[in-house]
Amino acid sequence: MVALRGDGPLKLGGTLRVSVAGAESNVAIGLARLGHRVHWTGAVGADEAGELVLRTLRAEGVEVSGATRDATAPTGLLLFEPRLPEVTRVHYYRTGSAGSRPAPAAVERVFATAPPRVLHLTGITPALGPAARATARHALRLARRHSTLVCLDVNFRARLWTADEAAEVLRGWLPWVDVLIASGDELPLCLPGPAGEPGEDAARLLALGVREVVLTHGADGATAFTGADGPHHQPAVPVRAVDPVGAGDAFVAGYLSALLDGADLAGRLARAATTGAFAAASRGDWEGAPTRAELSLLGAPPGTVVR
């Protein structure tokens, strides 16, 4: 999507900063900055907003040859409205957008050309409508056919669909998911029956075949569970938080980066905490994502000048 960021209440007008946003594109940029080959497959409108999205991704080293331009639908729009120092409202304009109806054929072409090691999906895409839901499910089937690891970040958005709608879709996806990332209150969306304690829900998901469950706790870090190793808790890396938007996506990028590098569970969580902290310490969805060479900067004492 194109993202417009205000500096106060939208109803009062003022200036808006133009950027690009989207959970999947944030993760793609985060992984590309860490040196991984990343392919973003989605749909934008055949408009200037869509060109901005594709241009931004290309500039960040993300492959977009699988993206499509829809001449009959606009690129989606997102408005950020800071209302209090610690509270931001998000307004979506995505109904009927190009991103709400991505083409299954585009996903097929990517898998046919070079099957990925990891397919990353979020619970945002299926919330956009039936076409997006169908294409995401098709991607899951292709991943299974090509032995591609599937990572799902639940990313529930109450302004896009209801909890019941999300639960129906996400529970149906569960047999394809290898790595599940969610907050404690999102886990019940993936499980039938009454919710338990987060650790109990994670154990149930592992019993259902999910290989790794990563529980995010915001400023309190994250805890990962696997069948053989865990739970393992990783505290958050302390930083002066500037903007929490995008920190979860940066966390996912760090986790997947370390997984692709063959790191153990502790190493995956440590890198995820570091990349998440970079995002929280910077304004924007993805702008603060670190390169691999920058990962050690958070360990530098205050006032450090790198010359």
Catalytic residues: 249
> Which residue has 């109904």 as its token pair?
95
Q: Which residue has the tokens 């999300």?
A: 166
- Sign, Cα dihedral of 209, 212, 218, 221: positive
